[in-house]
Every structure is written in structure tokens, then in C-alpha cells.
Structure 1
Amino acid sequence: MAHSEEITTRHSTVEEWTRALAESVGSPGGGAGAGVMLAIAASLTSMVAGYTEADGDQQDHLQELLTRAQDLRKSALQLADDDASASRAFGAAFRLEAGSKRDAAIREASLGAARSSATLGDRAIDAIEDLRWLAENGNRALIADVVVAFGALRAAVTGARTNVSFDLATLRSAGLTLEEIREQQPALWATVERLDAGIERIDAEVAAVDHRAAPTDAL
């Protein structure tokens, strides 16, 4: 197998990519895994949409939904690879000798990683509404696939939320306090709250259809 730095989600097999993920190198890591989970959610969204029939205005909406899901699958894989690159920069910064150069490198790498995860999280949040629509209007025989897609989407949002929070906190290694970080990076700080809300929304959507997806749970 090629070295893990040569592994990409777009061009490697699942076996190659997961083997690279299992290595103790951190790239790919959890953030890239969140990107793959987003791609899985998008793929399942596309599949369910493809099995769904609609009439009139709903047909136009369904086609737009399908196009978004197909585009998201591709962009999610790119976001996973972007995160892997950010992880390599992150690791390189911490390997530098202590000093101002190291502090600056940590700051740059931490912000780059946080922004990468925030972008992934925003894309995942945007996908919630399409899955909600399919839960209500999609092929009813595939409601279990919708719930699995929600599960993958939740993993992506949770991963993004945790990574943004962690990367921001890492700025303390460059000499900043949490209050200074919040003042200097208000958009990224707000992203954590937005992703928390996204997780709550996904949980609510799944709870609303669980009686259809897993009816035996009531027995």
C-alpha cells in the first residue's frame, strides 16, 4: 500500500483508505473521517431520492435535491482530503522547536484546521433539510436508509463541532486565553454553537420517524 500521505478519499479504495486511517500518523484522522461520513450521508440521500417518485412541483424539488446530494458526495470527499492536509500542517507545527516561529505556526495551523472543519460542518448542516424532506416525502420503503443517512450526517456534524472546538482551544498553546480566542475568532466560536444546534435538530428528526424505521423497538 502507498504511504498514508498518498492516500486520498477520492482515488483510494475503501480498504486502502481505512488502513491508512488505522495508522498512527494522524493523516487521515478524525476530521477526514467526518468528511467520509458526510459523503456517506450524501450518497444515501441520493439513493433514496433516486428511488422516490414525485409529481408537479415536487418533481422539480426532488430533482434539485438529487443534484445537491450528488454534488455534496463529491465535495465531501474533497473536504476529507482537505482536512487530511490540515492535519499534516498541524502536526508539523507542533514538531518545531519552542519559540515564536512555533507559536505562529501553531496558530496558523490551528485556524486552518478549524476553518476546514467549520466548512465541513456547514455543508452537513445544509444537508439536514433534504433528509427531512425525504423522511416525509421519500419512498417509504427506504425510511431505514434515511435514518442511517441521518446517523452518518450526525457523525459528520459531531466530528466537525468537536474539531472546531479543539482547534480553537489549541490556540492556547500559542499563548492566547479562551476569552482572547473568542474575541479574535467570533465566527468560528459561533460555529460550535450552530453545530450543536444541528445535532439537536438531527436527533429530533430521527426521533420523529423512529416508529416507522424501527417499529420493533416498541415491542
Structure 2
Amino acid sequence: MSHDDIVPAETPLEEWLGRLAEARGAPGGGAACAVMTAISAALLGMVAAYTPDDVEAERAVGRLRGRRRAATRAAEEDGVRSAAFGASLAMSDGPERERAVRQATVEAIESSLSIGRIGVSLLDDVRLLADIGNRHVEADLRVAAEALRAALEGAHLTAEANLDLLERHRTQDDQLDPRVEEFHQDLAELAEKRSECDSIATHLRSR
């Protein structure tokens, strides 16, 4: 990690947002999606903690704590990858730059999809808490669902945009066909889970 990188869990919120607002690209949209995922996990954890005398809710508290931490780590890692991605794009034109851009773009796609998978792992707890959660904090449950929906949408958008960029920098002998096929499959699965989140959020708003 370079001295310019900042760790979301150890950085005051205003400072982290200020860095996000700068023309650095690190942190960028992917890291923001990870932070939104962490916020969703934290709010779900709060709803679970406000649901006393329920074994499933108690289990959810610990599970969600772990996923919140995973999302925070993913935000940090995405910032590092974003910095490498920006450095590759800043290189002088030539074969070395093209190789560096391909490698950095593959890693950026993997990062966005990893963030998306963390978000997807929260869906079962959203459903659980929609059934058993303390209704006095249902507004917080709804906010958690909306934050998760935004995070999943953002993870899909960033992965898709980077995949489009990768396609523009490919060569016939880059041996990336299997990876690209996997990326397309992962994107389709993420889109399906995003639609599930949409349905859950809509249901929560309507009841």
C-alpha cells in the first residue's frame, strides 16, 4: 500500500469522503460500493441487535459483523487496485502499457465482483430480518435494503464498465478468453441478485 492510500476503517468519514471527491480515482466508485455494503451490513446488524430473545437474530449479529468487516477490507483493497489501474493508464503508449492496462483492468473487475459477492451475502439476512426484525426499527431495515440495492447496482456498473475497457485493450494472444467468459457469467449472476434485492426493497416499502 502506498503512503497515499487511506484505510476506511481508520479514517475520519469526512477525510475519506474528501479523498473520494478528489481527481485521484483511488478511492473510487468501487470502494464507495464497498462502503455502502458495509453501511448496509451495519444497519442490518443494528436491526438484529434490536431483536431480542431470538436465536436467529443473535446469530445474525455476529454474521453481519464479519460481513461488515469484509466490506470495509474490500473498500481498502479496491482503493489500492484503483491506484494501480490509474497508474497503468498514465503510462506511455506501447506494448508494456497495454499489458499493464489489461492486468490492472482484470484486477479491477475482480475487485468489483468481489464487492458484489459480499453484498449478495447480505440478502438472506435482509429476508430474515424482514420476517423477524423488530418493527420499531423497520425504517433502518429499509435503509439497509436501499443501501444494498445501490451497492449491488454500483458493483455491477463498475465491473461492466471495466469489462468494456478490457475488451478494447485485448489482443488475439492474451489468453483471457476463459476469464472474460467467467466475468460475463458473474455479471449475469450479480444482475439476477440485484433484481432480487430490488424486489425485497420494494416489498419493504409497500408494507
What TM-score does the superposition give when structure 1 sets the normalisation length?
Answer: 0.87
The range that moved more, 117-126 or 200-209, is 200-209
Task: Deviation per CA, 1:100-159: give whole Å up to 9, x if none.
Answer: 111110111001011111111011011011011101110011111111001111111111
* 2:34 equivalent in structure 1: 35
Counterpart secondary structure, 1:96? coil
Counterpart secondary structure, 2:25? coil
Q: 2:91–2:97: 8 Å Cα contact kept in structure 1?
A: yes
Q: 2:102–2:170: 8 Å Cα contact kept in structure 1?
A: no
* 1:217 equivalent in structure 2: none
* 1:70 equivalent in structure 2: 65
* 2:116 equivalent in structure 1: 121
Alpha-carbon distance in 2 for matches of 1:81, 1:207: 31
Question: Aligned letter for 1:38?
Answer: T
* 1:11 equivalent in structure 2: 10
Question: Aligned letter for 1:202?
Answer: C
Q: 1:45–1:146: 8 Å Cα contact kept in structure 2?
A: yes
Q: CA deviation at 1:210?
A: 1.5
Counterpart secondary structure, 1:7? coil
Relative to structure 1, the CA distance from residue 170 to residue 138 in structure 2 (aligned partners, 3 Å threshold; closer, same or farther) is same
Q: 1:26–1:88: 8 Å Cα contact kept in structure 2?
A: yes
**Equivalent residues, number:** 204
* 1:207 equivalent in structure 2: 202
Question: Aligned letter for 2:69?
Answer: K
* 2:84 equivalent in structure 1: 89
* 1:170 equivalent in structure 2: 165
Counterpart secondary structure, 2:91? coil
Question: Aligned letter for 2:122?
Answer: A
Relative to structure 1, the CA distance from residue 26 to residue 4 in structure 2 (aligned partners, 3 Å threshold; closer, same or farther) is farther
Q: Which runs of 4+ in 1 moved over 3 A?
A: 180-184
Alpha-carbon distance in 2 for matches of 1:25, 1:206: 33
RMSD: 1.9
Instruction: Structure 2: state its 5+ residue gaps.
Output: none
* 1:215 equivalent in structure 2: none
Q: CA deviation at 1:184?
A: 4.0
Alpha-carbon distance in 2 for matches of 1:87, 1:23: 13
Q: 1:4–1:28: 8 Å Cα contact kept in structure 2?
A: no
Q: Does 1:139 align with 2:131?
A: no
Q: 2:70–2:118: 8 Å Cα contact kept in structure 1?
A: no
* 1:197 equivalent in structure 2: 192
Question: Aligned letter for 2:94?
Answer: G
* 1:216 equivalent in structure 2: none
Alpha-carbon distance in 2 for matches of 1:146, 1:202: 13
Q: 2:5–2:79: 8 Å Cα contact kept in structure 1?
A: no
Question: Aligned letter for 1:12?
Answer: T
Alpha-carbon distance in 2 for matches of 1:126, 1:106: 30
Alpha-carbon distance in 1 for matches of 2:42, 2:130: 15
Alpha-carbon distance in 1 for matches of 2:95, 2:195: 40
Question: Aligned letter for 1:7?
Answer: I
Question: Aligned letter for 1:47?
Answer: M
Alpha-carbon distance in 2 for matches of 1:195, 1:78: 20
Q: CA deviation at 1:176?
A: 4.6
Counterpart secondary structure, 1:149? helix
